[in-house]
Structure 1
Amino acid sequence: MSELMIWTTILLAGVVTFCLRYSFIGYAHRMQTPEWFRRALRYVPAAVLSALVCKALVYYGATLQLTLSNERLLAAVVAAGVAWRTKNVLWTTVTGMLALWALQALGL
């Protein structure tokens, strides 16, 4: 495959992706949606983020890792405790990352 064909494919894929996403953003104000649907849409970002994070915590490669040797899972438990106690995103993130780095350094 030539270099021109590769760049053309990348450009076209970007244009198609942009058009698909913009169609929902650019024309959403014209659509009449029920109130229950708008309320439900508020939870989509949190649900998607939770799904991505949970998968990253319990899977390593294609293997389910629900053991005490899973540093990411242990760090997430520490971060969840900090989140529950402080309700502060910054402290939760910093504590979770420090816990992960410490656990990885200890090699548990």
Structure 2
Amino acid sequence: MQEELNIDQNTLVQAWQQQLPQFLEPGDSAQVLADENDPQGIRVSINAAGRQFYSFDFYCTYMDPREVKVELVDLERDGETVNEQNDRLQELTGDYVRHLHECAQSLHRITNPS
């Protein structure tokens, strides 16, 4: 049986918005929004530091109070969708996915307060 995440979505979004910058590179910025279709989901947009103007959009949904599933939804460079298949972009995407998982881990105190 899958445990439900027992936390208000707005509280979750605020916690992510406060915590996530600690896991990103200096100069990176992020915006966290509630997913209107999934009360256990959030949308995270990360703007990578540097001159490349890369923007990564992720969908994160809680599988249970301890585990988050992260999916890359869109990757843009200077407002244009790009193919994430090159090695550098796959490496960057992997880094951000890892940072999102680390952020989720750090929020266990509010997502799994037992």
When normalised by structure 2's length, the TM-score is: 0.26
Q: Which has the higher strand share?
A: 2
User: Which of the pair is proportionally richer in helix?
Assistant: 1
Between 1 and 2, higher relative CO (CA 8 Å, sep ≥ 6) is seen in: 2
Max Rg structure: 1
- Taking structure 1 as the reference length, the TM-score comes to 0.27
